[in-house]
Every structure is written in structure tokens, then in C-alpha cells.
Amino acid sequence: SEFSHFLETYFSCGELFHIVNQIEIKGDFKLIETFKGGSNALTILLSDKNENQIVRKIVLSGYEEKLKKQAAWIKEKNKLVHFPKIINQGNIGNGNGAAAYFYDMEYVRNSTHFFDFIHNNPADNSREMLDAILGFLNQSLYLNRQHIKSMEDLDYYIDSKVLTKVRDVSLADKEIMNLLQFDRLMINNVEYDNLPAAIEKLRANENAVSELSCYCKSQIHGDLTIDNILVTDRNDFVLLDSNDENFISDPIVDMAKLYQSLHSGYEFLIALKDSQISGNTLRFDENISLKYSHLYTYLSGRLEKELPAGQFRSIIFHEAVHYCRMLPYRMKLNRPTAPVFYAIAVRLFNQYLSQF
């Protein structure tokens, strides 16, 4: 299975792997493993001439802006123990100038992804780890919160992160284009307002608009999915792949990323091969584990006690936005499953509205 993943990554990142191979041939390092990634970047484990293992993120020139911002963000947090440590960064040439940009991080040995930790340990251990992560974020990252109330920000957020993403994907995918023609969708035997209708109802709901136009601006991780959390052999954790490009930079966005995993089962959805679509009806497998469901119940109960009612309700809205934002990436990575992620977004917007 690891070799199959290697081949899939190799052929989907052909030009990047050509650069990596050329450097490896020169003897600068040995390629040990490729990791899953969620952008134009390639993440690899390599061993240098002294057999020191490091993790390198590399992207072709022209796509490096996001990776450079990520590196700068991580370096700013170099005193915080739960973020990776950057040890090198720069450009790689191909004889005709810079061909790629990279940064190197310390390799966290004897670690496991939080997904595996959740499913291989008692539920109490996972709850304690989640509490530790949230405690760290509240004490070290979610500081100097600025209360914002802006209808303009909400309108831009919906237009750019939801409607534009869906429109762009629909122009490239006939199935999503066809689904948009219906007022209502039947998703796994439950009927919902389609996305345009749901957004129209949301914008007409004064209570919803009033709540969503108020947010707390602060630093956030930005991509706090279960996949981006490593658990070490010392029962500690490291948070990977921060994203400093969130227009609404509110801790609720991070909580919605956790919901994206624990509530909607993102890590299970990405394993789907296809879906069944007929007219306005979509069917696909949903197999969230009991361990996920139990941890979601715990997280949801904790947040409901800690947050004002409006903020707590808004988590599902931002979870829906996350599924719209990832549609172009899903199209690139696994086109047959893009309608599934669209359907999840539709359902979540309906669930958000049902709270009023």
C-alpha cells in the first residue's frame, strides 16, 4: 500500500519528483518516504549525507508564495514547543534559475498521526490529548482577540469561499453543474435545500446574519484537521501544516476544522472511490468510526459549555465553508468524489440553518 501511494504521488507531482530525483542522483540526500499533502507542495522524508533524517516541503517556482508564508509563520512560533522546527529553507536550481522552493523541518521520530492514536488507544487517552491541544491553543495562540462586526466581511467570505468555489468547480465538472439545476437535493435518502437556496435563506435570516457577522479576530492554526496532528511517543503532540490565509481568522475556524474530521468524517470520505448520482439524488458510503463519533460528542459538549450560543452554532457554518473551499483540490485529486464533498457542504448549511 505504501508503494501504491508512492506511485500515485510520483505521477501526480511529476515535475517536482524530477527535481527531487536530480538532487538525489547528485548524492545530496536519499528519498525515504512521501507523505500525503493537500496543496501544490510535495512533502518527503529524506536522509542527508550524515544520515540525519529531515522532512522537506517543496513546491515548484511560481507556487511558492503560500509555502513561504507558512514557513514564516512557523518560524515566528519557534519558541512554542508544539509546532515543528524549521532548520533550512531556500531555492533549488535546475541550471536555468530557481526551479523550486523548499523548507526543511526536524523529523519527529516515533510519532503517530492523531487518527491512528484515536483508533488504537482508549477513548480517555484521546479526550486527554484533545484537551491538551485545545489548552495549548487557548493559552499560546488565541491571544489578543479583537471583536469584529462586519457585514462586508461576511458577504466577502460567502462570495469568495463558497459561491465562487462552487461556480468554478461546476464549470469544470458536469455532475456538479447538473446538481446545481435543482432546488432541492436528496442526499443519502434525506432531502435538503440545494446550496444556492440554502445560502439565500441564510442571508435572509437576520439572526443568522447577525451572529455570523460578529467574530473574534486572532491568530489561529488555520488547518487543524486530525491529519495535521502528530502524537509523539512521550504522549505529547505537534501541530503541522498551519495555514495563515484565512479571511475570517477566528478560533471557531479551527474548531470547524476539527468538526470537519470528527463530525463529517473527512478522513473516511477521502477514501471513497466514487458516488452514485441520478437526477437530484446522491448516494455514497458514510463510515465514521465509533471512536470518531465518541470524540466528536465530547468536543461538541465541551464547546457548547464554553462558547456563547451564537459562536457554538456558527461552527457548523464554517465546517460547511471548509468543504466548499476544498472542492477545487478534490477535483484535482479525485474528481469522481467531488460531488460528495459538495453534498456534505449542502447538508451542513442546512444543518446550520435548522438551529434557528
Amino acid at 78: N
Residue ranges in the chain whose pLDDT is less than 50: none
Cα distances (angstroms) measured from residue 16 to each of 13, 23, 235, 271, 349: 5, 11, 35, 25, 38
**What is the per-residue pLDDT for 280?**
96
Q: Is the dihedral of CA 127, 128, 129, 131 positive or negative?
A: positive
In angstroms, the first-to-last Cα distance of the chain is: 46
pTM (2 decimals)?
Answer: 0.89
pLDDT attached to residue 66: 87
So what's the pLDDT on residue 192?
98
The C-alpha torsion from 31 through 36 and 39 to 42, rounded to 10°, is: 0
Residue whose cell numbers read 471548509: 322
Find, among 240, 75, 77, 212, the residue nearest to 143 by Cα. Answer: 77
Selection from 201, 195, 200, 216 nearest residue 310 by Cα: 216
What are the residue ranges of helices labelled H in 88-215?
114-120, 123-140, 151-158, 164-172, 174-179, 195-204, 206-212
pLDDT digits (tens, 9 = 90+) for 65-110: 888 999 999 998 888 889 999 999 998 876 666 688 999 999 988 8
State the pLDDT at residue 94.
65
